[in-house]
A and B are shown apart, each in its own frame.
Chain A
Amino acid sequence: MKENVVIIGGGVAGLEAARQLLSLGYMPIVVERKKSLGGHVAQWNRLFPDMTPTKDLMERLIADTAQANIFTETGIRFINRLKDGYNVMLTNGVNIYSKAVLIATGFGLFDARKKEEYGYGVYDHVITNADLEQWFNGKEDNRIPESPQSIGFVHCVGSRDVKSCNSQCSKVCCMTAVKQAIELKEKFPQAEIYCFYMDLRLFGKKYEDFYISAQKDYGIHFIRGRVSEVSERLEGRLQVKSEDTLSGKPLKVGIDLLVLMSGMVARDENSEIASMLRIQTDSDGFLKSRDNIYSIIESERPGIFFAGACTGTKTVPETVAEARAAALEIHNYLSR
């Protein structure tokens, strides 16, 4: 009989780890709270830098984990630490003994309503990055006008924002904004598109190429200044204010569609998970790794491992790499 490994979370990290653990000869038990697998990433339409359809990645991950034991719409009721392993009680009444537990609970998406000055949920044409991906996926959204003349992207919504209790950089949003700006320019070639940024953090492979292409081929305007306030004009158009920090002057512009780049934030449930397993959360609210260089995927407790954005903001390739590393580390741990 194959040895069980409990994986909490059925997103990219959990599924990729399950895939690797299957091939290493274990029986991964994936516990997912939601109805469907794939987490936040599954809601996305295409992934940078190759514009890979998310559907392809998801189909592959789900097909490759068909042999795993997967419980959806299931949570963790409690976890007891035994002498050499963990007793995991699920909300569906199933009780599992597992020597190693992989936490792959991912991140939370910042609730853009909290930045009241941007008027998400108040003004007619303010959406988030996640809403836009849903629209790319074919979901109707009457906040998106038929032929917008101007579109704005607000970077760093709820990230790099101490006041929102999220001092961390959300890492993927700069690139997502550039990607989404290009995608919208392709759909609405007549529209002027403005990205309002504090810094452009385009660190990953081909990210800078995207940025150059957004400027040169698509004529997207990058304005260095954080949006301070959004309001609605009589005709329904938004008025967006920021500083044009490169000119050193206040700036305003009429916008027909404003996209807020909601950042990745620590899950509210992290403290609950941490206290259940008697591990720690870090100062940023994410789960605390043993160290942040060599042992990101290890907790301070034997048998408890991490993969993906539960320990900090991550890109998809970083998450995939961590999931594989965690699977291997679990195999090493169980083979001792």
Chain B
Amino acid sequence: MIHQGKKVIWSDYQKEIPDDHWFYARSCIRQNFFPASEKYFLKITKELLGKAICDNEHHTTCGGIAYHSDTIPQETAMTIIARQFAIMTEAGYENLVVSCITSFGNYNETIETWREFPELEAKIRENLWKACRREFKIPKYVAHASDLIYRFRNEIAEKARYNLIDRHTGQPLKIVEHIGCHYSKMFPHKGFGGAEYPCVLSGMVESWGGQIIDYPERRHCCGYGFRQYHVKANRGYSLSNTYKKFESMEPYHPDAIITNCPGCPYFLDRWQYVISEQTGKTYGQNGYGIPVLTYEELAGLVLGYDPWDLGLQIHQVAVEPLLDKIGIEYDPEAKYLGVNKEDILRPELPTNLKCH
């Protein structure tokens, strides 16, 4: 692999990210799957970096899952998005930062569609006005939340308590990145590094001391694929795609996977359990899986936040092997104590995947 060659491509796909003043659009599912990720995005950007980020309680889902699962038409999805823009406009913001790759894709798709078909934009404006008497401005900048973390990756590195270095061997940790299909496959120029060799996550990992693994099925879908998962008859496709990725990354013995999208870490994490039940196979060391983290979780870890405050006990795959490699201090007894230090119960243990 010629690293310089990737750098040349990265330089073609850089985008402007304003330094400050963002309106935050949350994901509809992340707070269940990765309960602390969005909280720590706000904590890092607002408290640690001192940025003005507006977290407004009136915004909703972008409708992306329903749109991609064919349960609402594009016009409806666009009207939902128009309402988000209206709330942003009312709050006095022009820069939209989105906490979900599906949403990021939808916002971009909507704005690009309106650019090509202004009559459709006019119609959506009318829909929105009829529905809730709201008006909006199209955001000046649309960024994905990871774009901001990428933009501030070196500031985070300066404030970091830990490096992504295996303290036993002194070698950089080997990290697989997965950016999610809708980050840049639809619009390569909207993503840092483009679609073939994106650098949004690899840039973070390298800034924080880790080493990026580029394996043959890196560009492959995580397996979620909306209808592939949501329709149970198709669920085998979802699992098979994830299986294909793990088989491809296995020879590299990755220490962790960093992800961009709400769906990807969920499926890369949970399907490791299903694969282990169906094939008996596990992909980490000594019967463990490969820990899968969101970029906020990984940022939180290097910044020294408590792993249980970051919600890592909610993951299927145990993160302890990774914490031990980095040398992060944690209290094993506190793993299943909630925010009030009350017991949140323990999950049932899988047959083959070691989880404690």
Considering residues A119, A124, A231, A239, which has the most beta carbons from chain B within 10 angstroms of its beta carbon? A231
Interface members, chain A 150-192 (any B CB < 8 Å): none
Give Cα A113 to B5, complex, Å.
9
Give Cα A239 to B252, complex, Å.
15
Is the C-beta of A269 less than 8 angstroms from some C-beta in chain B? no
The answer to whether A124 touches B196 (Cβ under 8 A) is no
Interface members, chain A 228-250 (any B CB < 8 Å): 229, 231-234, 239
Is the C-beta of A321 less than 8 angstroms from some C-beta in chain B? no
Task: Please give, as numbers and ranges, the residues of chain A lying within 8 Å of B215 by CB-CB distance.
Answer: 231, 233-234
The answer to whether A234 touches B9 (Cβ under 8 A) is no
Q: Known: A229-B219, A233-B216. Contact between A123 and B1, CB under 8 A?
A: yes
Interface residues of chain B, those whose CB is within 8 Å of chain A, are 1-2, 5-6, 8-9, 194-197, 214-219, 251-252
Give the shortest distance, in Å, between B216 (CB) and chain A (any CB).
4
Task: Please give, as numbers and ranges, the residues of chain A lying within 8 Å of B252 by CB-CB distance.
Answer: 234
Main SS at interface, chain B: loop
Task: Please give, as numbers and ranges, the residues of chain A lying within 8 Å of B216 by CB-CB distance.
Answer: 231-233, 239
Residue of B nearest to A252 (CB): B216
Give the shortest distance, in Å, between A150 (CB) and chain B (any CB).
15
Interface residues of chain A, those whose CB is within 8 Å of chain B, are 113, 116-117, 119, 121-124, 229, 231-234, 239
The answer to whether A113 touches B1 (Cβ under 8 A) is no
Give Cα A231 to B248, complex, Å.
11
Q: Known: A123-B2, A124-B2. Contact between A116 and B217, CB under 8 A?
A: no
Give Cα A251 to B180, complex, Å.
24
Task: Please give, as numbers and ranges, the residues of chain A lying within 8 Å of B9 by CB-CB distance.
Answer: 113, 116, 122
Give Cα A70 to B136, complex, Å.
65
The answer to whether A116 touches B2 (Cβ under 8 A) is no
Write 7 A-B pairs (CB below 8 A) sorted by A numbering: A116-B194, A116-B196, A116-B197, A121-B5, A122-B197, A124-B2, A232-B214
Residue of A nearest to B8 (CB): A121
Residue of B nearest to A230 (CB): B216
Task: Please give, as numbers and ranges, the residues of chain A lying within 8 Å of B5 by CB-CB distance.
Answer: 113, 119, 121-122
Give the shortest distance, in Å, between B194 (CB) and chain A (any CB).
7
Task: Please give, as numbers and ranges, the residues of chain A lying within 8 Å of B195 by CB-CB distance.
Answer: 116
Partner of A122, one of B2, B217, B218, B219: B2
The answer to whether B196 touches A117 (Cβ under 8 A) is yes
Residue of A nearest to B2 (CB): A122
The answer to whether A122 touches B194 (Cβ under 8 A) is no
Give the shortest distance, in Å, between A271 (CB) and chain B (any CB).
22
Instruction: Please report the number of residue pairs spanning A and B whose Cβ atoms sit closer than 8 angstroms.
Output: 40
Task: Please give, as numbers and ranges, the residues of chain B lying within 8 Å of A122 by CB-CB distance.
Answer: 1-2, 5-6, 9, 197
Considering residues B5, B9, B195, B215, which has the most beta carbons from chain A within 10 angstroms of its beta carbon? B5
Partner of A124, one of B1, B194, B251: B1
Task: Please give, as numbers and ranges, the residues of chain B lying within 8 Å of A124 by CB-CB distance.
Answer: 1-2
The answer to whether B196 touches A113 (Cβ under 8 A) is no
The answer to whether B218 touches A231 (Cβ under 8 A) is yes
Give the shortest distance, in Å, between B115 (CB) and chain A (any CB).
19
Partner of A113, one of B8, B214, B218, B219: B8
Give the shortest distance, in Å, between A333 (CB) and chain B (any CB).
46
Give Cα A270 to B195, complex, Å.
31
Q: A116-B196, A122-B9 are in contact. List 9 more A-B contacts (CB 8 A).
A: A116-B197, A119-B5, A122-B5, A123-B2, A231-B216, A231-B218, A233-B215, A233-B216, A234-B251
Task: Please give, as numbers and ranges, the residues of chain B lying within 8 Å of A232 by CB-CB distance.
Answer: 1, 214, 216
Residue of A nearest to B218 (CB): A231
Give the shortest distance, in Å, between A279 (CB) and chain B (any CB).
33
Task: Please give, as numbers and ranges, the residues of chain B lying within 8 Å of A119 by CB-CB distance.
Answer: 5
Residue of A nearest to B195 (CB): A116
Residue of A nearest to B251 (CB): A234
Give Cα A121 to B196, complex, Å.
13
Task: Please give, as numbers and ranges, the residues of chain B lying within 8 Å of A121 by CB-CB distance.
Answer: 2, 5, 8
Give the shortest distance, in Å, between B248 (CB) and chain A (any CB).
9
The answer to whether B217 touches A231 (Cβ under 8 A) is yes
Give Cα A121 to B214, complex, Å.
15
Task: Please give, as numbers and ranges, the residues of chain B lying within 8 Å of A116 by CB-CB distance.
Answer: 9, 194-197
Give Cα A232 to B196, complex, Å.
13
Task: Please give, as numbers and ranges, the residues of chain A lying within 8 Å of B217 by CB-CB distance.
Answer: 231
Give Cα A123 to B252, complex, Å.
17
Complex A-B, nearest 7 residue pairs according to Cβ-Cβ distance, in ascending order: A121-B5, A122-B5, A116-B196, A231-B216, A239-B216, A234-B251, A117-B196
Give the shortest distance, in Å, between A324 (CB) and chain B (any CB).
43
Give Cα A121 to B1, complex, Å.
9
Task: Please give, as numbers and ranges, the residues of chain B lying within 8 Å of A234 by CB-CB distance.
Answer: 215, 251-252
Give Cα A210 to B8, complex, Å.
39
Give Cα A239 to B214, complex, Å.
12
Task: Please give, as numbers and ranges, the residues of chain A lying within 8 Å of B218 by CB-CB distance.
Answer: 231
Give Cα A202 to B19, complex, Å.
57
Give Cα A234 to B215, complex, Å.
7
Task: Please give, as numbers and ranges, the residues of chain A lying within 8 Å of B194 by CB-CB distance.
Answer: 116
Give Cα A234 to B214, complex, Å.
9
Residue of B nearest to A232 (CB): B1
Residue of B nearest to A229 (CB): B219
Task: Please give, as numbers and ranges, the residues of chain A lying within 8 Å of B219 by CB-CB distance.
Answer: 229, 231
